[in-house]
Chains A and B, each alone.
Chain A
Amino acid sequence: METLIDIKWVMACYCDDIPENGGACVKHGDEQIAIYNFSRRGEWFATQNLCPHKQQMVLSRGMIGSTGEACEPKVACPFHKKTFSLLTGECLSGEEFQIKTYPVKIQDGRVYIGIAA
């Protein structure tokens, strides 16, 4: 059985607020969400801004890239270079961390993030 979760699309920022092939942080209530403009791939991603390794609000300032044959997109925390999959939120540096990911959609030059309602 499939569960359908209601998603509310929240406008986060304008596309040109986020640097190409980089990230920036938006505030949604008390939440901090990192948005990544992976322009090289023409893709957008969003994750929590908190790096679970040392509890720092910094993932949006990390470098993004890809790894492996499948070119899995990832972000590296600027503190200790722990890397996380932008698709699944799984820690790719061999540790038991998991970050939250959000769906992203682009409309009329605006970035929307899907938040569970």
Chain B
Amino acid sequence: MSKPTIIVVGNGMVGYKFCEKLVSRSTNYNIVVFGEEPRHAYDRVHLSEYFAGKTADDLSLSAASWYADNDITLHLDDPIQEINRAAKTVHSLKGLNLNYDYLVLATGSSAFVPDIPGVEKEGVFVYRTIEDLDLIKAYAVNAKRGAVMGGGLLGLEAAKALIDLGISETHVIEFAPRLMPRQIDSAGSAMLQAKLKQLGVNIHLNRNTACITGNHKIESLKFNDDTALPIDMLVISAGIRPRDELAKLAGLQTGSRGGITVNEKMQTSDPSVFAIGECALYENMIYGLVAPGYEMADVAVSQVIGSEKSFHGFDMSTKLKLIGIDVASFGDAFITEPECRTIIFEDTHKGVYKRINISNDGKYLLGGILIGEAEAYNMLLQTVNNKIVLPPNPEDLILGSRGGEAANEGTGVLSLPDDALICSCEAVTKATICGAVNDGCTTVDGIKKCTKAGTGCGGCVPLVKDLIAGTMKANGQYIKNVICEHFDYSRQELYDLVKINELKSYDLVLDHFGKGDGCEVCKPAVASILSSLWNDVIVKQDTIQDSNDRFLANIQKGGTYSVVPRVPGGEITADKLIVLGQVAKKYGLYTKITGGQRIDLFGAHLNDLPLIWEELIDAGFESGHAYGKALRTVKSCVGSTWCRFGLHDSVSFAIEIEERYKGIRAPHKIKGGVSGCIRECAEAQSKDFGVIATEKGWNLYVCGNGGSKPQHAQLLASDLDKETLIKYLDRFLMFYIKTADPLTRTATWLNKMEGGLSYLKNVVINDSLGIGAQLEEEIQSLIDSYHCEWKEVVNSPELRKRFAHFINAPEEKDPTVKFEPMREQLKAKW
């Protein structure tokens, strides 16, 4: 017996989804697809990305071979012209006649073009298919002023497309008194309008276009109030019209305002004909989003294969990024008092508008609107859909917790019920995702593959991430971050243990908390902890120090060392410069200016180091800690003392900061910078901490670095006076020293920090952990116990003795060290 034939009319997203769902559930059908467009089904939701560089292939929903691979016959560029329901046949444009057992109409919609005189003129477009986009793209080359008719979701997408195409003057014309009238309220619209204006989009509300004027091509729009807007091109995005003409012709029941009438099983008035997607009219409603379309496809598949499933309307909540602005609307966004209570937060400075509607008893969230910041969307939507009881302060949902820790309780992703729909495009529940995680699927890509969650609009991906992390954590499945095979602790844990137990040597730490004999990983890590805690002279425990710290100098090619005295803020006197020159000459050293505004002397023999430092210390120099995981330099520009642009004295402040933190050891090196104005000559924003003068004080930036993965520092606080800045810097540095992993720069530390910059701000500025005073006290004790390490060595015959290459011939230098000349200096030969 031959398989029953299903003919799918329309190869859009929903038609494709029908095929995908059907072949995944049954191979007992012969599937034939007819598409009007010349392409395979593509992602229309992300159509505007076509202008931002994506290709038609990128947007394609499947590989070209997908249909053949699944035994689906595909006829592209061949729309169905006629349905004969009595004979159960269809007739295509290219002349094919086929019998069907079931017919699925997924004809979608077309752009609604209002009946305005002049609408046929050249330069007037709709925004619907890749072909439309190609036409717009070609025409835009010669256009300067463009307008979009329609301020809805698609219209604003089209406006972005015009901007991306380089149209210098972009207008949006909306008939209604607000933008996105289906999704957001007037106040939200006003906020969105203000933000769009900043981006150069001119918004015209309450405008009724009377006609389009111009000689065969568009020249201007005339409005009913007799005003006009001269433009070179127009994109019409005034809504959609269901493609129901084929159904009408076949005598199927359609709605008075368009749409093929369907029941909850997606059946039309003919039970063997289904309609799904934007062409289907269910309870007098057209669902113009992809997620309900997919749901309809699923229902139709269930009907065909004989399982029970029906459609009961769909949540039209949506979140999208419009021209870089987050806009979201969920649940019942428009319900007003007295049916509910509303909480509104409005920040015109940052362009953020948030509204939530809660039930009169304060227990449930009913819906809301988010403009400018929509991170909370997924959780809010889940709170509505799962009728989760609200916390006592529901305003925390949109404002975040302000002090106190209770706000997140009960609203975390793991508290959702198992049947909570996480991915509405693919109808994937929380239980399915958590199940996949439990089966070992622990990455977002993995979850996408095995559950399909996140493969539609992608809006649920953050929620999926949280679920993965939460489930793994609940299973006790997190990877413990231990130092090495000898210590089963993270650096932070070991730091606390060493502190509480007042351990002061590596061996004691190893005896108490480690095993084995240690190694080159844990020794320097513990050395750094001991130093950050007790600030003792590090060469007293020289054999646990890393290569450079062991001899307080940077080991270089050939086994010689380099010497870098501290030059705070990069300010140095002529006398000191002379001393550096004399020392370099005497010991035959290569000299170079470093990136941190000081002078590096290379090629020193181990034996010469104490002698060199003795001379430098006599001249008033100190160790520069260029060898240590410690504060290196605080780079400065010349500042207001000399520079005509300088706002404040950046050099003095840089010196003050460098003197304050010099010698303090940390998990990794720390670099700072101070700039006297926003021109930023000190490049402070590339440092672990950067200070930039403002009219009102100083801005403090943190956690930047150069290196292999450069990262800009981020603004921690602005317009601070010096005292406050130092206070924040104290807390910031000590918090870093106490909590970072070994050899982790501040940038990486912040990147890994849960809660990121806002958490760090809370700790440093708002003292959210209540450890501010403690951090200040701890760093003060390090500042107070500062000593120049080289001075300690130079003054101790016992320590000096260690700076010999041959222990049995202390005077003799390493004979294998060789130099060769280079540009009037020398370099290591090896």
Residues of A near any B CB (own CB < 8 A): 12-13, 17-27, 32, 35, 38, 40-41, 54-58, 61-68, 71, 73-74, 76, 78-79, 81, 83
Q: A20-B543, A25-B805, A79-B555 are in contact. Are A74 and B519 (CB under 8 A)?
A: yes
In the complex, 28 of the A-B residue pairs with CB atoms within 8 angstroms, ordered by the A residue number, are A19-B542, A21-B507, A21-B544, A25-B805, A26-B807, A27-B808, A32-B806, A32-B814, A40-B518, A41-B517, A55-B830, A56-B830, A57-B817, A58-B555, A61-B547, A62-B520, A63-B524, A63-B546, A65-B522, A66-B517, A66-B518, A66-B519, A67-B516, A71-B517, A74-B519, A76-B519, A78-B550, A83-B520
Q: Bound state CA distance, A78 and B507, in angstroms?
A: 21
Q: Which residue among A13, A18, A25 has the maximum number of chain B CB atoms within 10 Å of its CB?
A: A25
Q: Give the most central of B547, B551, B557, B809: most A CB within 10 Å.
A: B547
Q: Return A77 CB to nearest CB of chain B, in Å.
A: 9
Is B816 an interface residue, CB under 8 A from the partner? yes
* Contacts A19-B802, A22-B542; A65 near B517 (Cβ below 8 A): yes
Task: Tell me the complex Cα distance, A61–B547, Å.
Answer: 7
**Chain B hits for A26, CB < 8 A:** 806-808
> CB distance A65 to B523 under 8 Å?
yes
Determine whether the beta carbon of B485 is less than 8 Å from that of A21: no
User: Main secondary structure on chain A at its contact with chain B?
Assistant: strand
Known interface pairs A20-B543, A40-B507, A66-B518. Does A13 touch B808 (Cβ–Cβ under 8 Å)? Answer: yes
Instruction: Say yes or no for B419: interface residue by CB 8 A criterion.
Output: no
Residues on B with beta carbons closer than 8 Å to the beta carbon of A17:
807-808
Any A CB within 8 A of the CB of B812:
yes
Q: Cβ of A54: which chain B residues have Cβ within 8 Å of it? A: 830
Which residues of B are in contact with A by a Cβ distance under 8 Å? Answer: 485-486, 507, 510, 516-520, 522-524, 542-544, 546-547, 550-551, 555, 557-559, 802, 804-809, 812, 814, 816-817, 830
Contact indicator B805/A81 (Cβ below 8 Å): no
Chain B positions within 8 Å of A41 at CB level: 517
In the assembled complex, which residues on chain A have CB atoms less than 8 Å from the CB atom of B485? 67-68
B478 to chain A, nearest CB (A): 26
Q: Are B812's CB and A27's CB within 8 A?
A: yes
A63 to B555, CA, bound (A): 14
CB distance from A31 to the nearest CB of B (A): 11
Q: Does the CB pair A63–B806 fall under 8 Å?
A: no
Contacts of A24 in B (CB 8 A): 804, 807
The answer for the CA separation of A29 and B229 in the assembled complex, in Å, is 95
Please name the residue on chain B nearest to A58 by beta carbon: B559
With known contacts A12-B808, A57-B559, A81–B517 Cβ distance under 8 A? no
Q: Is the CB of B517 within 8 A of A63?
A: no
CA distance A38 to B516 in the complex (A): 12
Residue pair A61, B550 in contact (C-beta under 8 Å):
yes
Q: List 5 extra interface pairs beyond A40-B517, A67-B519, CB under 8 A.
A: A25-B806, A26-B807, A26-B808, A27-B806, A40-B518
Bound: A78/B551 CA distance, A = 11
Closest to B524 in A: A63
For residue A68, which residues in chain B have a CB less than 8 angstroms away from its CB? 485
Report B542 CB to chain A, min CB distance, Å.
6
Q: What residues of A have a CB within 8 angstroms of the CB of B804 in the complex?
A: 24
Asked if A63 contacts B830 (CB within 8 A), the reply is no
Chain A residues contacting B817 (CB-CB under 8 Å) are: 57
Collect the chain A residues with CB atoms within 8 Å of residue B557's CB. Answer: 56
Name the CB-closest residue of A to B830: A55
Contact status B544-A63, CB under 8 Å: yes
Chain A residues lying within 8 Å of B510, measured Cβ to Cβ, are: 40
The reply to whether A61 and B551 form a contact with Cβ atoms under 8 Å apart is yes
Determine the residue in chain A with the shortest Cβ distance to B548.
A78
Measured between beta carbons, the chain B residues less than 8 angstroms from A81 are 520
Per the bound structure, the CA–CA distance linking A74 and B484 in Å amounts to 15
Set of chain A residues within 8 Å of B558, measured between Cβ atoms: 56
A22 to B820, CA, bound (A): 32
Which B residues are CB-close (under 8 A) to A76? 519-520
Chain B residues with CB under 8 A of A78:
546-547, 550, 555
Q: Are B559 and A21 in contact (CB under 8 A)?
A: no
Is the beta-carbon distance between B814 and A57 smaller than 8 angstroms? yes
Q: How far is the CA of A22 from the CA of B540 in the complex (A)?
A: 12
Does B807 contact A13, Cβ atoms closer than 8 Å? yes
Residue of B nearest to A18 (CB): B807
Hey, which chain B residues are within 8 Å of A62, CB to CB? 520, 547
Are A57 and B808 also in contact (CB < 8 A) when A66-B519, A71-B517 are? no
Q: How far is the CA of A19 from the CA of B557 in the complex (A)?
A: 24
Q: Once the chains are docked, how many angstroms separate the CA of A13 from the CA of B522? A: 29
